[in-house]
Homo-oligomer: A and B are copies of this chain.
Amino acid sequence: MKSDLDRLMSERNLDGLWVTGPGLHNPAMSYFTGLAHLTRADLVKPRGQEPVLYYYPMERDNAIATGLRTKNINDYDPLRLLREARGNRARAMAARLKLSFEDLGLRGRVGVYGTVDAALPLAVAKELHSHMPEVTLVGEGEDTLLIAARATKDEAEIERIRQVGRATTAVVARTAEYLTTRRVRGDTLLREDGQGLTVRDVKARISAWCSEFGLEDSEGVIFAIGRDGGVPHSSGKPDDLIRTGQPIVFDFFPQESGGGYFYDITRTWCLDHAPQEVEELYRHVQAAYQLALDSFTPGMLCRFAQRRVCEYFEAQGHPTLLSNTTTEVGYVHPLGHGVGLNLHESPVFSDVEQNNDRLEPGMVFTLEPGLYYPERGMGVRLEDTLVIGRDARIEVLAEYPMDLVLPMRKAARAGTSRARPATRPSAKPARTSKRATGRAKPRRR
């Protein structure tokens, strides 16, 4: 949490933080500024002091609205600095940083953060080194202090993610409603104009619904049918037709418009009816979900949960990463990941001994077991976003039914080319148990 920053700076021997880049789609900056329309800004936080936001005057209103201490970059006459740097912008930026650091009395080790082109920090670090040898810009790699601070969320952040989850599941519900009310010709769903409904059509609607709910699908949407659903990150072929009886992996991970908090949910759906082998995969995935959910305890190593799910899947005869670290069938990815201003953040669930991430109160993370058999034309994944509360309760932040089979509304059926009984023998929906819907529940002890 933000209140951990000074402690983490001490632990990591950092005297200051420099965050750079835009105000939107920049988690490190948004963590301090909120979703502020800043084309470009700098934020400097000396240890033990409040951060200062440096803004360009055209964006002063947006800067001031952040509520942070602010300073106009023009006060440093950046055009003069650029002239003195003979047009070398990295050098001019280093010169301006030097003035800021001096104003704040900052020297020593300064961590560097912010979503920018990689070419910039390398160049500025080199220039600053000659301008101000008493400061060292430190790149912390991926496991930065900000990632560590952001791994636990405060109440306001959890509430925001819960709101994103509500909007997200509203879009999922609308998608299900849309699909199940389509007319069907043969086994193909139809658009309003009578043409076959495609993955592209569905994604366009999902995007529009996102906007309506204040979300953006900035990382895309996975809506993958059959074989594609068997390749975990295949996002689905745009021209694929939506058909009944085929497994659809719908992995939906929008964020607040402008680059804010994410939510992440996956459902696997079969419209009208499900093939028996998909139902079997589904049961294994659902059991793994429940097994993992029941195992989560504050303080546990995340990799133990991954290990447990691998062992369960292997007992059911599926290959997993446990016995083959490069398998591309069976269970091929970690059990979950932290969710926040990044879609993927701490904690991580990889089962490698170097992964010492543990579940802690305030963490928000996904639970997403899956099984993948592209050559058999199928994949199944089920995913929710959970929080561990201060009281150690595990809670799904936004509940949504887990049913595999979505029955088509009978009145919508228009198919004539292939006769089919209204209910097929294999159309038994695999019902999820009440617990498997991820209802908030007290921890068993």
Interface residues of A (CB under 8 A from B): 20-22, 24-25, 27-28, 37, 39, 56-62, 74, 77, 79, 82-83, 86-90, 93, 111-126, 137-144, 204, 207-208, 210-212, 214, 216-220, 222, 228, 231-235, 257-259, 325-326, 328, 332-333, 344, 350, 352-356
Residue from B37, B82, B114, B333 within 8 A of A235 (CB atoms): B37
CB-defined contacts of A28 to chain B, threshold 8 Å: 117
Whether B352 lies near A24 (C-beta < 8 A) is no
Whether A344 lies near B39 (C-beta < 8 A) is yes
A320 to B114, CA, bound (A): 32
Whether A119 lies near B90 (C-beta < 8 A) is no
With A118-B139, A120-B141 in contact, do A39 and B87 touch (Cβ < 8 Å)?
no
A233 to B118, CA, bound (A): 26
A57 to B329, CA, bound (A): 11
Whether A87 lies near B355 (C-beta < 8 A) is yes
CB-defined contacts of A59 to chain B, threshold 8 Å: 233-234
Whether B138 lies near A122 (C-beta < 8 A) is yes
With A139-B120, A216-B218, A352-B79 in contact, do A233 and B115 touch (Cβ < 8 Å)?
no
CB-defined contacts of A24 to chain B, threshold 8 Å: 218-220
Whether B119 lies near A220 (C-beta < 8 A) is no
Whether A118 lies near B119 (C-beta < 8 A) is no
CB-defined contacts of A116 to chain B, threshold 8 Å: 115, 118
CB-defined contacts of A217 to chain B, threshold 8 Å: 257
A141 to B124, CA, bound (A): 7
CB-defined contacts of A354 to chain B, threshold 8 Å: 82-83, 86-87
Whether A144 lies near B121 (C-beta < 8 A) is no
Whether A231 lies near B83 (C-beta < 8 A) is no
Minimal beta-carbon separation of A354 from chain B (angstroms): 3
Question: Smallest CB-CB separation from A20: which chain B residue?
Answer: B118
A143 to B120, CA, bound (A): 9
Question: Smallest CB-CB separation from A208: which chain B residue?
Answer: B211
Question: Smallest CB-CB separation from A22: which chain B residue?
Answer: B219
A232 to B62, CA, bound (A): 11
Whether B141 lies near A74 (C-beta < 8 A) is no
CB-defined contacts of A137 to chain B, threshold 8 Å: 122
Whether B112 lies near A122 (C-beta < 8 A) is yes
A325 to B76, CA, bound (A): 12
A65 to B218, CA, bound (A): 20
Residue from B60, B123, B212 within 8 A of A141 (CB atoms): B123
Whether B218 lies near A25 (C-beta < 8 A) is yes
Whether B119 lies near A111 (C-beta < 8 A) is yes
Whether B125 lies near A328 (C-beta < 8 A) is no
Whether A326 lies near B74 (C-beta < 8 A) is yes
Whether A142 lies near B120 (C-beta < 8 A) is yes
A114 to B115, CA, bound (A): 10
A228 to B65, CA, bound (A): 13
With A124-B141, A212-B204, A216-B218 in contact, do A325 and B79 touch (Cβ < 8 Å)?
yes
Minimal beta-carbon separation of A129 from chain B (angstroms): 12
Whether A121 lies near B123 (C-beta < 8 A) is no
Whether A231 lies near B60 (C-beta < 8 A) is yes
Minimal beta-carbon separation of A15 from chain B (angstroms): 16
Whether A121 lies near B124 (C-beta < 8 A) is no
A61 to B139, CA, bound (A): 33
A204 to B212, CA, bound (A): 6
CB-defined contacts of A87 to chain B, threshold 8 Å: 352, 354-356
Question: Smallest CB-CB separation from A23: which chain B residue?
Answer: B220
Minimal beta-carbon separation of A43 from chain B (angstroms): 12
Q: List 28 A-B contacts (CB under 8 A).
A: A24-B218, A25-B218, A28-B117, A37-B220, A37-B235, A57-B328, A58-B333, A87-B355, A88-B141, A89-B142, A111-B119, A115-B115, A116-B118, A118-B139, A119-B141, A119-B144, A120-B139, A121-B122, A122-B125, A122-B139, A123-B141, A124-B141, A125-B139, A204-B214, A207-B216, A208-B212, A211-B211, A216-B218
